[in-house]
Amino acid sequence: MPRLNVNIDHVATIRQARGGTEPDPVSAASLAELAGAKGIVVHLREDRRHAQVRDLEVLRKTVQTKLNMEMAPTNAMVNIAKKIKPEMATLVPEKRQELTTEGGLNVVKHFQKVKSTVNALKKAKIFVSLFIDPDLKQIEKSFETGAQMVEIHTGTYADAGSEKEREKELIKIEKAVDHALDIGLRVSAGHGLNYFNVEEVALIDGIEELNIGHSLISRAVLVGMDTAVRDMVVLCGE
Ligand code: PXP
């Protein structure tokens, strides 16, 4: 059964709404860990709309489990990652106007850039994952970059408008996981997962980790971080 990693970006989103110091994503990370999260995920976006470099610096000192820095494959981000030294980095596509990460990284199209970013991060002893769509070609190219893991994008599954479409997307994810494992990649999954759709994904054999943010922080606003994380840990099957 997969481990739950909690993405705390939206705690920072609330803080940035007033530009002050609360709520602090660092406190949220500690509470998530105490409630059973096995990792903390932070996306440092180029426009700094939620997490700030300061958050990563403090989290680097306080996270007890594992820090996974999501980042675009750019030289500026690599330089920050090298200073922070998270256990893990996940490369994601980034567009300034998007509400959230829309779709996986196109490793086929941006192969050289992704490969050189993977190399630079691995040289700094950072474990690298690529966030990609459940597409066999993307998986093969991901392996060729030297990345150690792929995070399968579950957004299309999560947004499926009908039971039939949802089933179709779930099968795509299962096939992608099998193929990634077959060629020697480790596998995680995430995006759009919530308290109602996570169980079917958690049951797929071979997914080591689930990265969940929006639904979990939304629930935490109402019931508290501890309950929100504990309930999600149960649904992940731990
Ligand atoms: N995985 C990746 C690569 C992401 O970019 C995000 C969103 O920041 C997530 C997982 C979490 O998605 P959600 O907030 O929809 O749970």
pLDDT of 116 higher than 80:
yes
Is any atom of ligand 1 closer than 6 Å to the C-beta of 197?
Answer: no
Mean pLDDT of the chain: 96
Q: Is 192 in the pocket of ligand 1 (CB under 6 A)?
A: yes
Among protein residues, the one whose CA lies closest to atom 9 of ligand 1: 191
- How does pLDDT run across 55-106, given as a tens digit for each residue? 999 999 999 999 999 999 999 999 999 999 999 999 999 875 666 667 899 9
Q: Which domains does the chain have, with CATH numbers?
A: 3-233 (3.20.20.70)
Predicted confidence at residue 101, as pLDDT, reads 66
DSSP one-letter string for the chain: -PEEEEE-HHHHHHHHHHTSS-S-HHHHHHHHHHTT-SEEEEE--TT-SS--HHHHHHHHHH-SS-EEEEE-S-HHHHHHHHHH--SEEEE----TT-SS--S---TTTTHHHHHHHHHHHHHTT-EEEEEE-S-HHHHHHHHHHT-SEEEEE-HHHHT-SSHHHHHHHHHHHHHHHHHHHHHT-EEEEESS--TTTHHHHHTSTT--EEEE-HHHHHHHHHH-HHHHHHHHHHHHT-
Q: Tell which residue, 165, 215, 218, 221, has the closest CA to residue 235.
A: 215
147-167: per-residue pLDDT in tens?
999 999 999 999 999 999 999
Task: Report which residue type is found at 188.
Answer: S
Q: Which residues pair with 42 in a beta bridge?
A: 69
Of the candidates 10, 50, 179, 191, the residue annotated as catalytic is 191
Q: What is the pTM of this model?
A: 0.96
Token pair 């299309």: residue: 156
User: What is the pLDDT at residue 97?
Assistant: 63
CA of 190 relative to ligand 1 center, distance in Å: 6
